[in-house]
Structure 1
């Protein structure tokens, strides 16, 4: 049986690949659970500093929820339904990990729709191939973008523009996503790997604890008034201040050499 995801770690970078290309990398319970396990690993492994998420094939990052599976659920046995429910009870999607500490890059290689776009919205950086299309088409299927998409999109591109997409289920091109500030970079499909590698390289030039502290301040600060956010205490910033990397950065600068980050 083909694994629903692929997971690899190289040089502090975890690559998570949704591996159901025959189904446009649609999210069924097994795939959702596998993603949850991978993000647990990324969060807990001190040797992982960055994660990159992408989809297998060249057609889709993820087309969202597996609607064929949802149709099957209606006629499934009581035992099978209980098994799926138990699996989902142990699933923690990235969408709902509000303050995930490490940077995550979405490498969008095609359609990112519904739950697929919700996954990308939960990432810190989106790099998309120029043929990619983004959207939350749930209302066209009688559904709601309940995986936080209907909440995140207005926060990321503004209310009026977001409502235009939320209420119609329209797709936006990768280029339009870039114009709206949703997508960080759009490149030809053949240059997508290189573009993401450049983002990874630049993040790895920074101290990993400084990156986590910066992300924590930015994300938690959004949920507070500016004065409160400025005065707040941040756990990753406390760890950064006490780290050897906080000494290594100025020392390397004074010695005119590249810093040797340890992540501690």
Structure 2
């Protein structure tokens, strides 16, 4: 396969998540809720979980690209309406074995490339951090703003950002909740490429094409080693993460934050 990759061989749809096979070996997975800023609800979590498992089981697919529909938002994270009004609450946005969005905890056998246009906030940024490589448009922004609504970046964001960045920078991103630009994210080593917004998917496909030229077993071995080196003691990290997540999700502030956000007012924090 050369670097000029044409989109279009096979398209299937699960409504909220689209799956497309490009050529013989590349899959493009698209979060498809532009009316809700591609936020994760139970339907998205279940669909992405199924598609992820399908990709792992399909020997033809060697690389997957995760992107979002529309141009303004890659993914806004958790759908707060689903969290506050859904029967399952926040737990409905996770799957067994996959974690948040059916993705962030999964032990994937193949490389995933995040292709980001627009904002990747909260769980959206955590999806990017869970991928192996990332391409972003010039206008992309990244944030872990959970502290602003009284919750925690509990889908791996809190410890993955600490693994990737110096402590002071990780602390700033987590405790201020402020966004960083694509250029800043690239300078910090969080992205592989920053390109014009219109070129994001094409650049991700070119990167995928370079990967599929190589021996699949060598790619898998390399990924396993890099993941192990980058995330020593990940099981222990998830344990601490999940303990704090349970404590916070039952706090008064965790109920007040999303409620204030939906009511478009400043939250009244209780500190408990």
User: Can you list the C-alpha shifts for 1:184-228, whole angstroms capped at 9, x where unaligned?
Assistant: 111111221221122011111211111111111111234559xxx
* 1:54 paired to 2:63: no
Q: State how many pairs are aligned.
A: 217
Picking from 30, 52, 60, the partner of 1:39 is 52
How far apart are 1:21 and its partner, in Å? 0.4
Residue of structure 2 equivalent to 1:216? 224
* 1:140 paired to 2:152: no
CA shift in 2, pair 1:140/1:159, >3 Å:
same
* 1:206 paired to 2:214: yes
- Equivalent residue of 1:9, what SS? strand
Q: C-alpha distance in 2, partners of 1:191/1:88?
A: 31
How far apart are 1:144 and its partner, in Å? 0.5
Structure 2 portions without partners, runs of 5+ = 1-12, 234-272
Picking from 18, 21, 31, the partner of 1:9 is 21
How far apart are 1:88 and its partner, in Å? 4.5
Q: Which moved more, 1:185-194 or 1:118-127?
A: 185-194
* 1:69 paired to 2:82: yes
Q: C-alpha distance in 2, partners of 1:56/1:223?
A: 30
Q: C-alpha distance in 1, partners of 2:197/2:128?
A: 17
Matches within 5 A, 1:86-165: 88-90=94-96, 92=98, 93-97=102-106, 99-165=107-173
CA shift in 2, pair 1:150/1:48, >3 Å:
same
The structure showing larger relative contact order (alpha-carbon pairs under 8 Å, at least 6 residues apart) is: 2
2:46 and 2:95 in contact (8 A); partners too? no
CA shift in 2, pair 1:49/1:164, >3 Å:
same
User: Can you list the C-alpha shifts for 1:141-198, whole angstroms capped at 9, x where unaligned?
Assistant: 1110011100100111222111011000010001000000001111111221221122
Residue of structure 2 equivalent to 1:170? 178
* 1:193 paired to 2:201: yes
1:33 and 1:90 in contact (8 A); partners too? no
- Equivalent residue of 2:139, what SS? coil
Q: C-alpha distance in 2, partners of 1:87/1:153?
A: 21
CA shift in 2, pair 1:25/1:204, >3 Å:
same
Q: TM-score, normalised by structure 2?
A: 0.75
User: Can you list the C-alpha shifts for 1:240-260, whole angstroms capped at 9, x where unaligned?
Assistant: xxxxxxxxxxxxxxxxxxxxx
1:26 and 1:66 in contact (8 A); partners too? yes
Larger radius of gyration: 1
Structure 1 portions without partners, runs of 5+ = 74-79, 226-264
Residue of structure 2 equivalent to 1:30? 43
Q: C-alpha distance in 2, partners of 1:145/1:210?
A: 33
- Equivalent residue of 1:8, what SS? strand
Provide the aligned C-alpha RMSD in A.
2.2
- Equivalent residue of 2:49, what SS? helix
